[in-house]
Amino acid sequence: MNIDDQATEDVGLEIIRLEVSEEDRQVEGALRPKTLAEFVGQHRVREQLDLILRAALQRGNSADHVLLSG
């Protein structure tokens, strides 16, 4: 045990890992919306973004750049 380990134990801090556990992946995936319809609020923004994405799909192109703020 080195000084850093002792300091961590004394304060009761948990060391953060760089790897993501499978449980974290599942929870994270369950929290993130998978479709625009799952987003809460911002109805007008969702409609406009949906329009942009559908148009890009029909053209067979990627969508133009979109800046989201807030």
Global pTM reads 0.53
Q: Give the pLDDT means over successive 10-residue stretches in the chain (70 positions).
A: 57 74 86 86 90 95 86
Rounded to whole angstroms, the Cα distance separating 4 from 58 reads 57
The pLDDT of residue 62 is: 94
Residue 62 contacts residue 56 (beta carbons within 8 Å)? yes
Q: Who contacts 49 (Cβ-Cβ below 8 Å, separation ≥6)?
A: 36, 66
The pLDDT of residue 18 is: 78
* Boundaries of every domain in the chain: 36-61
